[in-house]
Amino acid sequence: MALDEALLESHRGFRDDRSGIREEFLQPTLGPGRTVAVLSRPQGPSLPAGWVICHSFGLEQLMLHRLEVVVARALAAAGFPTLRFFVQGYGDSETRGQAVEVSWHLDGTMDAIALMRDMGGVSVVGALGVRFGALVAALAAERARLPLLGLWQPFLTGDQFLRNFAQTALFETMLEQADRQGSQRLGGLEEFGPEGWKDLNGLRLSRRALDDISAIDLRRDLRLLEASALVVGISRSGSLPQEVAEVAAHLVAIGVDCREEGVQDESAPMLGQHQFRKIGDGEAERDIFYDAYRAIAEATVSWAVEHSGPAASLRDRSR
Amino acid sequence: MREFPVFVPYGREHVAAVVTVPDGEPHGLVVLATGLGAPRSHRHQVWAVAAERLARSSIASVRFDYLALHDSTGLLEELRTPPTGEAMAVAEFARRATGAREVIGVGNCWGAHVALTVAARMEACVGAVCILPETVEPGRAGGALRSPPGRKVAALLRSNRRIRRILKRLKRADLQPSQAVRDLLPRALERSKVLFVYDEEHLDTGRREVGKVRALLDHLPEDVRNRFELRLLPGRGLARLRSIVVQELLLTTLLEWVQERFHPEQEARRVADHALSAEATVAPRAAR
């Protein structure tokens, strides 16, 4: 029997009448290679504002992936075309088993923005991102002069992100001893082999990536941004965590119209880590961010509808 | 090699999957399943890399996201049993699309259960690779302690340190092969070879668990029993693919084993080589 290409091609997408959306797998070249992206759209006419979602770094990409999916589908249900994609070195991208470069995140996002701009009916593009993805979304918004920017649990600097990232990695491998012996700044992440990368719990982490992340500082890197922004922070108390509040303050200081949203969730400190917890003696597993992801999606859609300018007015006219 | 991302219909939902096909006709199809939480490409893209290497050996593969996770549709706050239904749907779809005659299931943790299910239920399946499979479950006593009234008793017993220690030992003794192993493994072995893979970190648990599995296998006819194989990978970190070394060891083991199933002449060569080396040395094979 031969390959049934028609069968495969006919299953690239689906329509879901319950939510009123359709989704389609794309295989565009974004950054230095071909990758897999998913375009979520409403079944009816789309609003003229389209969204690109930027994922986080390392294993966080897969830990936070469902948040991107939940938000993308909520935005599509509200009328917005939304694109999520794998940066090279992640998921189904063609670059596999290599140390990820920060430039792949940025170049991939810039190409994804261009792809979204080229889509029929899209006149305004906004960027969204979580944790490290929020840093990427902000840098891309600055470069591409985007008028809309949504940041979930963002950091102000790459160093802040790396410290948090390193804490999780070190906790996981019980490398406190290495931490005590030196390299206090980033908890041992700076120690590299001669090949220029280290094996961090199975992740190839390169010196260059570490340096490039460290070099990110939104206080210096965001200057020209003229946008409406949403900053969502998730915490046990429901108030914005300090790093998140600093990002919001900086955006306001440079003249960005910024909305702050706090999401209260007991599991907040675990954001970016394994999201399933055993119940009882392990007879079931519970998604600890099930409610929080929906709360973030709701806040994002509500802000997007309000701030997408022409998009919002079109929506109002259609009611 | 070509890759086709698809949404496979399953009831009202859609399972996100990627079908990888080699250039030319495939010698077989591998269904790659993950543990709970990992995406179809797996942690550190290990299944995406596996798909690429399998394709280089003229073997097609399909990797997928469980329902309500990653790109698949569905809403579930709690997951209770390994989702085998959608895995079977994906396997059937990929077999139809690729035209592959034979199938092998591969998976870790929940995915190991999926691999065993594919081997037990799919006529075309010739093998299953189960990485750190969950092979035991509480017996009668443990089951009773898991019931709602039993939980209260268990909590009371756990509050005393000495009783807690005794309870732990009793729990261990009470373990029995899981229903999946009891039901699926014998059926899978009727026509398929089954490989269980452990690492040194899970050696202790693995031995205890495998003891239960061995006892179960002892009741099967010899020719069926002989289709079961266990390998121990050197090193640690297999559970979360926590080092690049263990990722590479797993990929090498997987590729070798799958190639032997789909290319029987390779297995014959390996058996011959093994026989020759056994004559030369008495040392056992490290990874078995």
Q: Which of A8, A38, A279 sits opposite B71 (nearest CB)?
A: A38
The pLDDT tens digits of the residues spanning A58-74 come to 999 999 999 999 999 99
Contact A188, A170 (CB under 8 A): yes
Q: Which residue of B1, B2, B3, B7 is the best one to mutate when testing the A interface, meaning the one whose CB has the most A CBs within 10 A?
A: B7
Cα–Cα distance measured from residue B10 to residue B84, given in angstroms and rounded to the nearest whole number: 12
Q: Which of A63, A92, A276 sits opposite B18 (nearest CB)?
A: A92
- The band of A284, judged by pLDDT with boundaries at 50, 70 and 90, is confident
The pLDDT tens digits of the residues spanning B223-242 come to 999 999 999 999 889 999 99
pLDDT for the residue A317: 43
Q: Which of A16, A62, A276 sits opposite B39 (nearest CB)?
A: A62
Residues A12-28: b if buried by 16+ CB within 10 A, e if exposed: ebbebeeeebbbebbbb
- The band of A225, judged by pLDDT with boundaries at 50, 70 and 90, is very high
- The band of B204, judged by pLDDT with boundaries at 50, 70 and 90, is low
Cα–Cα distance measured from residue A61 to residue A78, given in angstroms and rounded to the nearest whole number: 25
- The band of A190, judged by pLDDT with boundaries at 50, 70 and 90, is low
> CB A286 to CB B7 under 8 A?
no
CA distance A97 to chain B (A): 7
Residues A128-141 have a mean pLDDT of 98
Cα–Cα distance measured from residue A277 to residue A285, given in angstroms and rounded to the nearest whole number: 5
Cα–Cα distance measured from residue A230 to residue A247, given in angstroms and rounded to the nearest whole number: 11
pLDDT for the residue B144: 72
pLDDT, averaged across chain B: 88
3-state secondary structure (DSSP) of residue A264: strand
pLDDT for the residue A176: 40
> CB B8 to CB A7 under 8 A?
no
pLDDT for the residue A188: 59
pTM of the model: 0.90
pLDDT for the residue B278: 63
Q: What percent of chain A has pLDDT over 70?
A: 89
pLDDT for the residue B286: 38
- The band of B272, judged by pLDDT with boundaries at 50, 70 and 90, is confident
CA nearest B152 in A: which residue?
A280
Q: Which residue type is seen at B288?
A: R
In the predicted model, is pLDDT for residue B282 greater than 60? Answer: no
pLDDT for the residue B209: 72
Please report which helix (H) or strand (E) contains residue A297, including its range.
helix A290-307
- Using the structure block, give the residue that is written with the tokens 């009741």: B219
pLDDT for the residue A319: 39
pLDDT for the residue B17: 98
Residues A220-235 have a mean pLDDT of 95
